[in-house]
Structure 1
Amino acid sequence: MVAWAMPAHAQDDRMTPIATPEQPTAIPLDTGVLPNAPVSESWYRQYGSRFARNVRQATLTPFLPDPARATGAAVIVAPGGGFRTLSMDNEGYEVARALAAHGVAAFVLKYRLNQTPAGMPAFAKSMAAMFSATARPPQRTPEQQLADLAPQIADARAAFATVRSRAEAWRVDPARIGMIGFSAGAMLTMATELAGQDARPAFLADIYGPLSPVSPPADAPPLFVALAADDPFFGSGGLGLIESWRAAKRPVEFHLFEQGGHGFGMYPKSTTSTGWFNAFIAWLAMHGWASR
């Protein structure tokens, strides 16, 4: 079952239902309940990590740094999962804790998702179909995805608005809030920037998302990109996004790892893709957003 995401240390890729965990620090966002979403949110464990699905109400969970180390910068963290599930540990909470350790306030965005079957067997079958090579539709550009991702973009905008509204209490500079996304979360990150309006990320990080060419705005923020060359979904799709940023004369840093597959996130693997986070912190520090 979706072995493409299986980390080196995990031997069991079965989806095991778990109780929805208490989330006492999660802040409900004001984007409402997803229309036509009758199935309740549920969680499961796979690859040693927790995943959420059927998210109907978006939330934002803060991970604040020690005030003595805080840089004033912040990051909205968007986990991936094909807009059907969210990798809450590997691409959410663990990323946020690691960022906070480097002085960056991090906020995990649990955005609303497309509905999946309530039963685990039917859900597992639907996920296998989504990730099969024959079932995947042609890749669409971030601009083409804007309408499809309207609810998720609204959630991202609400996340930025929430952090800015509490910036003083959280010791965050409202002008220094960026966004990092993984896979589908990377799609959401790029779509949030391209949608314009009022999110205005200070920087962007696209971690194993599609690299389709785009038309970046004239004032596009600095961009960090990490991808494994053997990524089965996006490793052979060209480098259009990088070329678009360079053509617009906007700052971009790109790391192409020889191996790592898709979904490596914070999993400890034997491939050099594990080094993406240290490279990201070094990039943030270079710009004055993180402490080493």
Structure 2
Amino acid sequence: MAILPLALALSAPPVAAQDDAMTAIAIPDQPTAIPLGTGTLPGATAGESWHMQYGSRFARNVVEATLTPFLPDPAKASGAAVIVAPGGGFRTLSMDNEGWDVARALAERGVAAFVLKYRLNQTPAELEVFANWRPEPRPASATPPSPEEAWAQMVANMAPQLADSQAAFALVRARAAEWGVDPDRIGMIGFSAGARLAMSTQEAVADARPAFLGNIYGPMNAQNVSADAPPLFIALAVDDPLFPNTGFGLVESWRDAGRPVEFHYYEQGGHGFGMYDKTTTSTGWFEAFTAWLRMHGFIAREG
């Protein structure tokens, strides 16, 4: 796979997107954000900071997780809910394009949405340094790990994020009556690294158990699929620079287990298209996703 500049690799925008330069901004007010109580990121030395890029806001060095509710008008609420996990390579979070904008659009369609600002791996505190920074590569192992060993290592590396995801599900279920949510109809959608978190949540966190899953330009590797795995929606672009020629193991895993899966493979869109307004058909992923939710009964049919 070609190595991309860090800014592109973390959450690549539309080709014709706005300015790709990172500009520091103040941490925006988030008056409805609810602390998840999972603690401060162990070993953190850099505090949370934000920047603008591609016309969107990004969070970095998140050390304490929060969950922000976006609730629908009670007149159109379906009772379904979804945890929204933005992407950014576990180093940033695309809070507008893959978080708040998604949640607002879901709430407009009657789905209660909760944006998970999960804890992130530490990066240089100075934005100018971060813009050109690359983490140290992990040393190559003489003996490739077994699939079981690789999975265990991945889960260990994601321990803070998985704890945040687990706490998000617990909070929504605890306040389900207050928020008009059916505790058995809470799903999760993730973008890029957030999609990895969503897929790992359903496999590694027993008491989360999403009612449905959305994997938007996330990893496509095969996964263990239980007999009661939730319905899965996948959207990916052919020209995604992060997942070229990786096959469709994830789709095949769900299909082979006899579980519901829908896969949209767009000719163009790159990586990180999210809610950006583009001329490519990948922009249609959100309408396809909500139509899929409607097909499965998570959104009431119109008329």
The alignment's TM-score, normalised by the length of structure 2, stands at 0.90
Query: Structure 2 CA distance, aligned partners of 1:261 and 1:58?
Result: 29
3-state SS of 1:267 partner: coil
3-state SS of 2:123 partner: coil
Q: CA RMSD in A?
A: 1.9
**Which residue pairs with 2:33 in the alignment?**
26
Query: Structure 2 CA distance, aligned partners of 1:37 and 1:144?
Result: 21
The reply to whether residue 240 of structure 1 matches residue 240 of structure 2 is no
Aligned residues with identical type, % of pairs: 68
Query: Structure 1 CA distance, aligned partners of 2:165 and 2:63?
Result: 14
The reply to whether residue 109 of structure 1 matches residue 116 of structure 2 is yes
Change (3 A) 1:123 1:261: same
**Which residue pairs with 1:226 in the alignment?**
235
Query: Structure 2 CA distance, aligned partners of 1:144 and 1:240?
Result: 20
Q: For the Cα contact (< 8 Å) 1:26–1:60, is it kept in 2?
A: yes
Cα deviation 1:186-225 (Å, max 9, x = unaligned): 0000000110320010000000001000111221000000
Q: For the Cα contact (< 8 Å) 1:8–1:270, is it kept in 2?
A: no
The reply to whether residue 67 of structure 1 matches residue 74 of structure 2 is yes
Change (3 A) 1:144 1:290: farther
| Structure 1, unaligned runs of 5 or more | none
The alignment's TM-score, normalised by the length of structure 1, stands at 0.94
3-state SS of 1:217 partner: coil
Query: Structure 2 CA distance, aligned partners of 1:217 and 1:31?
Result: 28
Query: Structure 1 CA distance, aligned partners of 2:197 and 2:88?
Result: 11
The reply to whether residue 88 of structure 1 matches residue 95 of structure 2 is yes
**Which residue pairs with 2:161 in the alignment?**
152
Q: For the Cα contact (< 8 Å) 2:27–2:49, is it kept in 1?
A: yes
Query: Structure 1 CA distance, aligned partners of 2:68 and 2:173?
Result: 14
**Which residue pairs with 1:36 in the alignment?**
43
Give the C-alpha shift of residue 3 in structure 1. 4.5
Structure 1 residue corresponding to 2:59, chosen from 52, 62, 70: 52
3-state SS of 2:278 partner: coil
Give the C-alpha shift of residue 121 in structure 1. 1.4
Count of residues paired in the alignment:
286
Query: Structure 2 CA distance, aligned partners of 1:235 and 1:275?
Result: 21
Q: For the Cα contact (< 8 Å) 1:51–1:85, is it kept in 2?
A: yes
| Structure 2, unaligned runs of 5 or more | none
